[in-house]
Amino acid sequence: MAAPASWVAYRQQPWREWQSDLHTTIGEQQSFDLADGTRLVLNTATAVDVSFTDSVRSLTLLQGEILITTGKDPAPVARPFLVHTDHGQLRALGTRFTVHQLGDQTRLSVYEGAVQIAPHDAIGKVVVAAGEQRLFSSTRIHPSERASDNAELWEQGMLMASDMYLSDLVCELGRYRRGVLRCDPAVAGLRVSGAFPVNDTDASLTLLQQTLPVQVSRITPWWVTLKAS
């Protein structure tokens, strides 16, 4: 029990949140209207620093995921809108997009306009157009993929699965609840489709139990495993 308890305690440490300008806790989402008219939405367990100067509008994503709808800059001289992650810099070109920091990579998904990626330690830049998404690290930009039409639904408190592995769905739901949510390897490969509320993950687990040959096993409210029924 000691190891799981230590892992849970580590996961809950909000040390980055305490030092950030804007943040959300696990399972929380918040919207902010910035000084330039930009709308910023923070997903679960997200921390962001904001720096607006006379020459630049800048966000630093410390952890988590954000949805940005850029506003028209009211400054007399147009200022670039930049987003910094651990892996590089993004420059918005009048747009709506999400940025998700994933540990060793960042995922950019663009829904309107375009965004330029400039990794920290790679030569060259790439412009990602609306309808596309890309993963990038500090040294590499991965090939373009189609941005999911449902990727923005977390703003509305929903997660849409379309023929998704159960293990991947459980991993996503785990971002929105405290403690540990696991999937037994015996059922990890089951395919799932449907809409699942992220603001009530217990309801999502109940739905999975009703529609798949799985059962929800709880050691404590903070240590939950999906197993074969």
pLDDT by residue for the chain (229 residues), tens digit each? 444 444 444 444 455 566 889 999 999 999 999 999 999 999 999 999 999 999 999 999 999 999 999 998 989 998 999 999 999 999 999 899 999 999 899 999 999 999 999 999 998 899 999 999 999 999 999 999 999 877 778 999 999 999 999 999 999 999 999 999 999 999 999 999 999 999 999 999 999 999 999 999 999 989 999 999 9
Which CATH number belongs to the domain containing residue 68 in this structure? 2.60.120.1440
Q: Which stretch of DSSP H or E encloses residue 161?
A: strand 158-165
Indicate if 109 and 166 belong to the same structural domain.
no
Domain boundary residue among 146, 170, 187?
Answer: 146
Q: Which two tokens stand for residue 151?
A: 């990727």
pTM of this structure: 0.88
Domain boundary residue among 114, 146, 178?
Answer: 146
Domain boundary residue among 89, 123, 146?
Answer: 146
Q: Give the residue numbers spanning the domain of 131.
A: 2-146
At 22, phi and psi to the nearest 5?
-130, 140
Tell me how far apart the terminal alpha carbons of the chain are, to the nearest angstrom: 24
Indicate if 18 and 124 belong to the same structural domain.
yes
Greatest alpha-carbon span in the chain:
64
Which CATH number belongs to the domain containing residue 166 in this structure? 3.55.50.30
**The total number of structural domains that make up the chain:** 2
Indicate if 138 and 181 belong to the same structural domain.
no
